[in-house]
A and B are shown apart, each in its own frame.
Chain A
Amino acid sequence: MSDRIFSVGWLAVCLVIAVSMWQMEVPFSYEPVGPKAFPLLLAALMTLCCIVLIVRPDAGSISVDSPLLAKGAMLITVLLAYATLFSVLGFPLSTALMVMSVSRIFGGSWATSTVTAASIAVGSFLLFDRLLEVSLPLGGLFG
């Protein structure tokens, strides 16, 4: 069942690709094959694969239990927040917050996650920014 849902969704993506390629205006070029051909070919091949999956899906569906779903949603939120706050809050602070939350989500105690957060945030900043010269943002708080 999940195969079918995904395939129908991906058929819509194929349609978007096809329409967007079709409408694209291409300046005159001497090449016989322009930039439209290959993406259109891909859209056609993907449509074919999706149809095969709709007609003959693999048995079974994804079963998701709600505690796992809740944890997954939390994890994704934390990672997205980390991504957006990375340069705003600076690496040490945002990393400490991320490590703390992720560690808690993965069942770490408050003590474990606090120690892990502090050591990863400070340790990796010193290692990468100071020692290995990969420049990381320090953020307004420290900079």
Chain B
Amino acid sequence: MDNITNLLGGFQVAIQPLNLVLASFGCFVGTVLGLLPGLGPINGVAIFLPLAFALNLPPESALILLASVYMGCEYGGRISAILLNVPGDASAVMTTVDGHPLALKGRAGVALSISAVSSFVGALVSTIGIVLFAPLLSNWALSFGPAEYFALMVFAVATLGGMLGGKPAKALLGCFIGMSLAMIGIDSGTGVYRLTFGSLHLSDGIQFIVIVIGLFAISEILTMLEQTQAGQNAIKLSGRLLFNAKELASSAMTMLRSAFMGFGIGILPGAGATVASAIAYTTEKRVSDTEGTFGKGDVRGVAAPEAANNASACGSFIPMLTLGVPGSGTTAVMLGALTLYNITPGPLLFESKPDVVWGLIASLFIANVLLVVMNLPLVGLFSRLLSIPNAVLVPAIAAISFIGVYGIHSSTFDLVLMVVLGVFGYILRKLDFPTGPIILGFVLAELMERNLRRALSISDGEIGVLFESPLSIALWVMATLIIALPILLRLRGRRNRNQTVSANDI
């Protein structure tokens, strides 16, 4: 019952005129950023974070803006996936598999509308999940001591590098690089300068926004140089623009199943929407593809990944809000936004800043409704935006990024540092480093170090305290498993392969 009362309070925050305007604006711009190939949720949130801060928006309004941009991007990614066969953001990769064939058959309108409804269902299920589970989890998390927190963050880092990462060494190295960048500057415990190498500009450390914009906007601009012009071979919308009852009925169960799956994956710290949509698609293919139509243009093949990636995007708010440990790169950026406002994320947030938390949750409901209402009739307008040439788009992104960073400290040094970090980020991306872990590392480093130091000063330097409580032991075991299992499986796979090879030789 408490949850309902709190949620109603949240709606009072979310329906304030300023917040409604911000939510609609965020939804629209988010959809546009999501549909433009290359720009995804993390870039969108990164570009708007400094603006929200420079505009002196109150924290709940800033979060509402960022959350609607985030959700809008998840909605927008499918448009280019279906019409162009190019995923607008990474989590829409699986949407191309059935979405584009549908468009080729002249059923683009059906694919777009069914995926919009799937996105709605996914986000709705997941937001209800937040209302039900987040307060429980935050209550439980209140009993965490520094040692448990440290173990939890080790688990988050391990999930990132482990089986869900694909490239464990690179994901982990990226995360540690982000942590090292966070070490630069004055140490809050002792007041000594670390890794500043005598530079006065670095004594305060690297500003979070400078890192975010450098890594996600500037490096994106450099990456866009390689893309061929978008918008030339987009399929024109024709035929029915809305699905019929039969198509909706056939995919209803798919949406629900995928939504639950996406929610579960979203809660895991470190695993994001891309993983969720891939798992949902392959599961759905196994469960319901009895006639072999998946991959050739099946509406269920569009419904599954879209429901899952939106559910996962919303689900990833749970670890961020309740534990203060972000579940994805994008929520890591939002966590950074909270710290800019001197709000410490974590279990106490629900008690100390209920208007911020519940305002955000309520605005997820509102943004979701706005998005589905916006996306069904306006899809024609959105698809025309695919033809914005890069010659106009890229300089605009550059100008907005510079305005955002300059607007905070009016510092030329920050601008130069941002470009340098952008080039560094570009090199990392060319080397196939995932960028999410870098920002996650940057955000986690301070928390991790603080909790480690606190835990060890409570125990007077005795390191056993980190492995004392059952909860921390469980977290350590899970972290070890998640790193070790894939390696063991690979080794076993190789041995089996070797045996078959030698058997064939004989």
Using a CB–CB cutoff of 8 Å, the interface residues on chain A facing chain B are 2-3, 6, 10, 17, 20-21, 24-27, 29-35, 37-39, 42-43, 45-46, 49-50, 52-53, 56, 58, 62, 68, 71-72, 75-76, 79-80, 82-84, 86-87, 91, 95, 98-99, 102-108, 112-113, 116-117, 120-121, 124, 128, 132-137
Contacts and interface: CB of A to CB of B under 8 A. Distances in A.
A85 to B, nearest CB: 9
Given A86-B412, A87-B412, A128-B403, A103 B222 contact: no
Q: Which 10 A-B pairs have the closest CB atoms?
A: A108-B391, A32-B461, A83-B415, A49-B173, A99-B395, A35-B187, A134-B407, A102-B395, A38-B449, A106-B391
B471 to A, nearest CB: 22
B403 A136 contact: yes
- Which of A31, A43, A121 is most buried by chain B, counting CB atoms within 10 A of its CB? A31
B54 A134 contact: yes
B225 A71 contact: yes
The DSSP consensus for interface residues of chain A is: helix
B505 interface: no
Interface stretch (B30-38, B84-92, B176-184): B176-184
B229 A107 contact: yes
Contacts of B173: 10, 46, 49-50, 53
A38 B154 CA distance: 13
Contact of B452 (A38, A62, A76, A137): A38
Given A39-B195, A86-B402, A128-B407, A116 B392 contact: yes
Contacts of A136: 403, 406-407
A2 B431 CA distance: 7
Given A33-B453, A33-B456, A120-B399, A106 B225 contact: yes
22 contacts: A2-B431, A6-B431, A17-B180, A30-B457, A37-B452, A39-B195, A49-B169, A52-B169, A72-B222, A75-B222, A86-B406, A87-B412, A98-B398, A98-B399, A99-B395, A103-B392, A106-B395, A108-B392, A120-B399, A121-B399, A128-B403, A134-B403
B180 A58 contact: no
Given A56-B169, A79-B218, A124-B403, 11 more contacts: A27-B190, A46-B173, A58-B167, A79-B422, A83-B412, A98-B395, A105-B225, A112-B392, A116-B391, A124-B399, A137-B406
The DSSP consensus for interface residues of chain B is: helix
A75 B183 contact: no
Nearest to A85: B412
Interface in B442-493: 445, 448-449, 452-453, 456-457, 460-461
Interface of B: 51, 54-56, 167, 169-170, 172-173, 176-177, 179-180, 183, 187, 189-192, 194-195, 197, 218, 221-222, 224-226, 229, 389-392, 394-396, 398-400, 402-403, 406-407, 410, 412, 415-416, 418-419, 422-423, 427, 430-432, 445, 448-449, 452-453, 456-457, 460-461
Contacts of A104: 391
B245 to A, nearest CB: 45
Nearest to B191: A27
A49 B389 CA distance: 40
Contacts of A27: 190-192
A121 B402 CA distance: 12
Contacts of A112: 389, 391-392
B413 to A, nearest CB: 9
Contact of A135 (B197, B225, B410, B432): B410
B402 A35 contact: no
A51 B490 CA distance: 19
A60 B183 CA distance: 33
A20 B197 contact: yes
A4 to B, nearest CB: 11
A75 B399 contact: no
Contacts of B54: 134
A33 B415 contact: no
Contact of B180 (A46, A106, A137): A46
A98 B397 CA distance: 12
Contacts of B431: 2-3, 6, 62
A84 B399 contact: no
A16 B433 CA distance: 22
Contacts of B453: 31, 33, 37-38
B194 A68 contact: no
Contacts of B169: 49, 52-53, 56
- Which of A34, A87, A102, A136 is most buried by chain B, counting CB atoms within 10 A of its CB? A102
Nearest to A94: B402
A71 B394 CA distance: 14
Contacts of A42: 176, 179-180, 183
Given A80-B416, A98-B395, A112-B392, A39 B194 contact: yes
B170 A53 contact: yes
- Which of B224, B412, B456 is most buried by chain A, counting CB atoms within 10 A of its CB? B412
Given A39-B180, A134-B54, A76 B222 contact: yes
A43 to B, nearest CB: 8
A135 B54 CA distance: 9
A62 B428 CA distance: 11
Nearest to A79: B419
Contacts of B222: 72, 75-76
B176 A46 contact: yes
Nearest to A49: B173
Contacts of A25: 192
A24 B398 CA distance: 38
A75 B221 contact: yes
B190 A99 contact: no
Contacts of A10: 173, 177
Contacts of A98: 395, 398-399
